[in-house]
Amino acid sequence: MIIITKPNATEQQVDHIVERVTGWGLRCEVSRGESRVVIGVIGPEDLIREMPIAAIPGVESVTPVLKPYKLVSYEFRGMHSPVAIGGVSIGGPEVVVMSGPCSVESREQIVSIAKDVKAAGARILRGGAFKPRTSPYSFQGLGVEGLKLLAEAREVTGMPVITEIMDTKDIEAVEQYADCLQIGARNMQNFALLKEVGRSKLPVMLKRGLSATIKDLLMSAEYILSEGNFNVLLCERGIRTFETATRNTLDLNAIPVLKAETHLPVVVDPTHGIGLREHVAAMAAAAVAAGADALMVEVHNSPELAKSDGEQALLPDEFALLMNRVRAVAEAVGRGL
């Protein structure tokens, strides 16, 4: 249910609305616009329908949220909701770039790459400490040691860190060293993990599953928000189709659809989306043109020696060229970088 206040509603009236609604055992999320306040009401639908909310002074209208994803829907907030990762805001006028290697391999590797991507304009450092791999015999990441190296690279560069969480038992360790939790494509419908990160104080980036629909993605995000964590980003990273010329099919359609359906920021991962180093820059530019709030791009200083996904990682100088291209597109569509 969404409550919209009258344009002349006072702060006292808004506080009274919240007090009255919470007194009925319901939860409220308050969003303040330029002329009106939007209050999202969370609770059992039968109970919400029974309450005389429209009779409360200052209320202009009461509208039910008909979509199955109540909390993530754009209607629930009535405006887009920026998410801050270590002081870097995503979802505002500027496009934010997250970059770094697929896997943390050594101190020298992660610190060197972190310096390179920051110099080119990246604002958030990505790197995997726990790696979900198709083969159990492939490199699985350095674990907690990798988290410590990411934290060290953050100290050197000042960039906040995003890294993947794969198991509920690792949340405490990841929270200790990272600034944002990433839920990978393979875990998009790991509902136990989604509930657990929903109780975390860190923001969460949820990647779209390999064969997931947009509705599937939004319903998974709903699990996180329903536990109280509203600092969620949605990431389009390519879906599995019949096409074999590329690693995945980057669904650019999803960007404007998500921007219309939800108040959450939209991130695009062109690296996994196409999986071919020479075409990553083109897809990054296309994603910004389509309205993406942030990009996640893999960079490695020696891709031929990378322990994972070396064939799709950009060299630092290639990443710098990508940033120039993306910056031009961002400016063309009225955004900064």
pLDDT tens string 175-224: 999 999 999 999 999 999 999 999 999 999 999 999 999 999 999 999 99
Judged by DSSP in three states, 65 sits in coil
Q: What's the pLDDT band for 132 if we cut at 50, 70, 90?
A: low
Q: What are the beta bridge partners of residue 125?
A: 99, 161
The whole-number pLDDT of residue 36 equals 78
Alpha-carbon Rg for the chain in angstroms: 21
Q: Which fold has domain 2-64?
A: Alpha-Beta Plaits (3.30.70)
> Rounded CA gap, 139 and 147, in Å?
16
- The pLDDT of 298-309, averaged and rounded, is 83
> Look-up: residue for tokens 């209050």?
39
Letter for the amino acid at 292? A
- The pLDDT of 53-73, averaged and rounded, is 88
Residues with Cβ within 8 Å of residue 291, at least 6 apart in sequence: 255, 256, 259, 266, 333
* Average pLDDT score over the chain: 92
The whole-number pLDDT of residue 237 equals 97
Tally of CB atoms within 10 A around 191: 12
Element (H, E) at 32: strand 27-32
178 or 39: which carries more pLDDT confidence? Answer: 178
- Whether the pLDDT of residue 51 is over 70: the answer is yes
- Whether the pLDDT of residue 258 is over 80: the answer is yes
Q: Quick check: pTM over 0.85?
A: yes
Looking at the chain, the whole-number percentage of residues with pLDDT higher than 90 is: 72
CATH 3.20.20.70-classified regions of the chain: 83-332
The whole-number pLDDT of residue 305 equals 77
28-33 CB contacts, 8 Å cutoff, 24+ apart: 29/71, 29/76, 29/77, 29/230, 31/77, 31/78, 31/79, 31/81, 33/78, 33/79
- Whether the pLDDT of residue 139 is over 80: the answer is no
> Rounded CA gap, 232 and 230, in Å?
6
DSSP 3-state percent helix, strand, coil across the chain (nearest 5): 40, 20, 40
Residues with Cβ within 8 Å of residue 299, at least 6 apart in sequence: 99, 100, 101, 113, 116, 117, 313, 314, 315, 316, 319
DSSP state of 235: E
Q: What are the beta bridge partners of residue 96?
A: 294
> Rounded CA gap, 239 and 57, in Å?
48
- CA distances for 111 relative to 91, 102, 136, 257, 300, angstroms: 27, 14, 28, 37, 11
Q: Which CATH class is domain 83-332?
A: alpha beta
Element (H, E) at 125: strand 124-126
- The pLDDT of 144-149, averaged and rounded, is 94
> Rounded CA gap, 303 and 309, in Å?
8
CATH 3.30.70.1140-classified regions of the chain: 2-64
- Whether the pLDDT of residue 135 is over 90: the answer is no
Locate 137 and state its tokens. Answer: 């015999």
The whole-number pLDDT of residue 134 equals 66
